[in-house]
Amino acid sequence: MIGYAFMGAAHSQAWRNAPRFFDLPLTPVQQVICGRNPQALAAAAQKLDWRDTETDWRTAIARDDVDLVDVCTPGDTHAEIAIAALEAGKHVLCEKPLANSVAEAEQMAAAAEAARANGVLAMVGFTYRRVPAIQLARQFVDEGRLGTIRQVRAQYLQDWIADSGAPLSWRLDKTRAGSGALGDIGAHITDLIQFVTGQAITGVAGLTETFVKERPVATEFSGLAGTGGAELGPVTVDDASIWLARLTGGAIGTFEATRFAWGRKNALRFEINGSAGSIAFDLEDLNVLEYFDAGEDTRTAGYRRILVTEPEHPFISAWWPAGHGLGYEHAFTHQVVDLTTAIAAGDQPEPSFADGLAVQRVLAAVEESAQSGSNWVTVPTSGTEPA
């Protein structure tokens, strides 16, 4: 694993726990963790339960006792590391967004395609796909419960920098993060809507805004929180991005990614309306999927609050009895389950790097639209809908 911050902890937890609850075809071994600061790295290895450490990722991916490389670094390093790992014959799990630019993402998708011919597989970490309620949403679409999908509205609302005194972090620096709310959390709703509906976004009109242009330079960081000093530095990414979209199946949608919605902490919300029904989801209440069946009798119809904790629901039978909810981290465990299963079977794990590239192209189109006065921009596609 390359990187040991927030995502490194979440991934380690998943590698450690997946075999305790699921019967995996392959048993993960947490062999080596890699970072640049030797002291912090040693502490992380101890805490996160890794056998060995490396301070140079090139050495790490070259090791014979490494079969899979888990890339948990900031987005500007994804392409170089992931491509090198694939070329070294290692399977790759790469955190989202796939890359900071479409060009890099294209190289990565090409590298993944080439590696696959050699039985080396790559997956991008759009982890929320494996929240059980979201899996159930996708099943409902597949089963035709929503009919023809007509409208989507997707929002990812946070407030962690709504305070204009919150310090600068690498996530607010365009050279490291690529973009702001758009690439960080807008990527999630883009992938999820494409995943759940099975449709690709074909065009957008977008608008981005940076409400707070300068912030204190951070002197210390832990997770998403930090402490700022007296010096100010420029915010070079978007605080919020909003866009309209059309999808391949004829649906239309509104999208919003923001870090400025006071009181919403991690509100990844979507509603999907089809000709036969509707669903609604909110990550702040992640064990629930709301569902309206338009075929019900008018007297008894209403949105159902499905508690997605039954053994019949995706991934649940491995966990606790009905009503004993899961948390944020469980989706990472499910990701390990599906990734190891795909590798053992020689199947392409999903979402693939091609799926990651598709997301990147949408985000790039939103940026292009925003920079051109919010005019409509067509999203180039490879002619294939996402899996």
Phi and psi at residue 286, in whole multiples of 5°?
-75, -10
**Token representation of residue 120:** 């080396």
Nearer to a second copy, 217 or 306 (CB): 306
Q: Are 54 and 37 in contact (CB under 8 A)?
A: no
User: Taking the complex as a whole, how short is the minimal distance between the CB of residue 340 and a second copy, in angstroms?
Assistant: 16
Q: In what order do the strands lie in the sheet with 122-125?
A: 68-71, 91-95, 122-125
User: Residue 106 CB, nearest distance to a second copy (Å)?
Assistant: 26
Q: How far apart are CA 74 and CA 157, in angstroms?
A: 21
36 or 305: whose CB is closer to a second copy?
305
Q: Based on CB atoms, which residue is closest to a second copy, 263 or 346?
A: 263
Nearer to a second copy, 108 or 279 (CB): 279
Q: How far is the CB of 16 from a second copy (least distance, A)?
A: 7
SS3 at position 105: helix
- For residue 112, what are its two tokens? 């993944």
Nearer to a second copy, 87 or 271 (CB): 271
Give least dist CB 65 to a second copy, A. Answer: 21
**Nearest Cα to Cα of residue 249 among 271, 273, 277:** 273
What DSSP assignment string belongs to 150-213?
Answer: EEEEEEEE--TT-STTSPB-GGG-HHHHSSSHIIIIIHHHHHHHHHHH---EEEEEEEEE-S--
Question: Taking the complex as a whole, how short is the minimal distance between the CB of residue 153 and a second copy, in angstroms?
Answer: 6
CB of 243 to a second copy, least distance (A): 7
Query: To the nearest 10°, the Cα dihedral for 46, 52, 56, 61?
Result: -130
As given in the structure block, the two tokens for residue 317 are: 């039978």
DSSP track, 76-90: GGHHHHHHHHHHTT-
- Smallest gap from Cβ 374 to a second copy, in A, equals 4
Task: Find the angle CA(282)-CA(286)-CA(290) to the nearest 5 degrees.
Answer: 60
Q: Which is nearer to a second copy, 106 or 191 (CB)?
A: 191
Cα R_g (the chain), whole angstroms: 21
- C-beta closer to a second copy: residue 49 or 56: 49
Min. distance of Cβ 120 from a second copy in angstroms? 30
Q: Looking at beta carbons only, is 90 or 145 nearer to a second copy?
A: 145
Minimum separation from the CB atom of position 215 to a second copy (A): 14
Packing angle of the helix pair 102-117, 78-87 (nearest 10 deg) = 10
In the complex, minimum distance from the CB of residue 85 to a second copy, in angstroms, rounded to a whole number: 25
Question: What is residue 222's three-state secondary structure?
Answer: strand
> Element (H or E) spanning 368, and its range?
helix 353-371
Give the single-character DSSP code of 2. Answer: B
Q: Which is nearer to a second copy, 108 or 205 (CB)?
A: 205
**C-alpha distance from residue 305 to each of 133, 246, 323, 341 (Å):** 11, 29, 13, 31
Which residue's CB is nearer to a second copy, number 58 or number 324? 324
